[in-house]
Amino acid sequence: MTENNRPTVAVIGGTGALGSGLAGRWARAGYPVVIGSRSPEKAQAAAAGFGSRGASQAEAAAAADVIVLTVPYATHAAVIDEIRPHCAGKTVVDATVPLVPPKVGTVQLPAEGCAAVEAQRAFGAEVRVVSAFHNVSAHKLQGSAAIECDVLVFGDDKEARESVMRLVEAAGLRGIHGGPLANSAAAEALTSVLITINRLYKVDGAGVRIVGKRADGSPL
């Protein structure tokens, strides 16, 4: 932890569309950020843009308190294998959506239920997997503008889920608890629905908003 009580965040795949947007927002919010990449040089170049540092995937995971996974589903299992030795006792935030090209607008969840549950099984009980950010368009995260999209946050460990809610807020978004990790299937599936909506309605990155009133009449 830093003196401001902000954890060091590694963004594995932080050179990419989603990860670079999140990493930039956390860096600007004062979080120590390390970009993890297959190429440390590429990571360093990406991180320099917001005053952070780059490293290999394993080094970034080892240096962090919280590890955020923003890699394509096709490489999800391999990346988990690579960083697993450096994740014990830590929280891993998984943003992976199990899209299967070319039909990315069709829900195709894996047999185990969803990518987040696969990640938890692969990491084992020593890692607390929380999943989030499935429904936010990556290009909207670039810069600091407000984004009309809630972030559903799933996880079996309450404390870990709360810590990720703080990261969502630090990125300028509203987090909504979505319950246990198995419920991540709903948000992962919803991404394909949003991709379809984008196509059908020519929307530039449809998002989700959870609405409702609490028992005292105040809005959610």
Ligand X SMILES: NC(=O)c1ccc[n+]([C@@H]2O[C@H](COP(=O)([O-])OP(=O)(O)OC[C@H]3O[C@@H](n4cnc5c(N)ncnc54)[C@H](OP(=O)(O)O)[C@@H]3O)[C@@H](O)[C@H]2O)c1
- Residues in touch with ligand X (CB under 6 A): 13, 15-19, 37-39, 42, 70-73, 75, 79, 95-97, 99, 133-134, 136-138
How many whole angstroms separate alpha carbon 109 and alpha carbon 188? 8
- Nearest-approach distance from CB 202 to ligand X, in angstroms: 17
In the bound state with ligand X, the residue whose beta carbon lies nearer, of 70 and 163, is 70
Question: Is 14:47 a contact under the CB 8 Å cutoff?
Answer: yes
How many whole angstroms separate alpha carbon 197 and alpha carbon 206? 7
In the bound state with ligand X, the residue whose beta carbon lies nearer, of 7 and 13, is 13
- Nearest-approach distance from CB 143 to ligand X, in angstroms: 15
In the bound state with ligand X, the residue whose beta carbon lies nearer, of 70 and 183, is 70
In the bound state with ligand X, the residue whose beta carbon lies nearer, of 19 and 24, is 19
- Nearest-approach distance from CB 80 to ligand X, in angstroms: 11
- Nearest-approach distance from CB 105 to ligand X, in angstroms: 13
Dihedral pair phi/psi, residue 7, rounded to 5°:
-70, 155
How many whole angstroms separate alpha carbon 132 and alpha carbon 130? 7
How many whole angstroms separate alpha carbon 115 and alpha carbon 134? 11
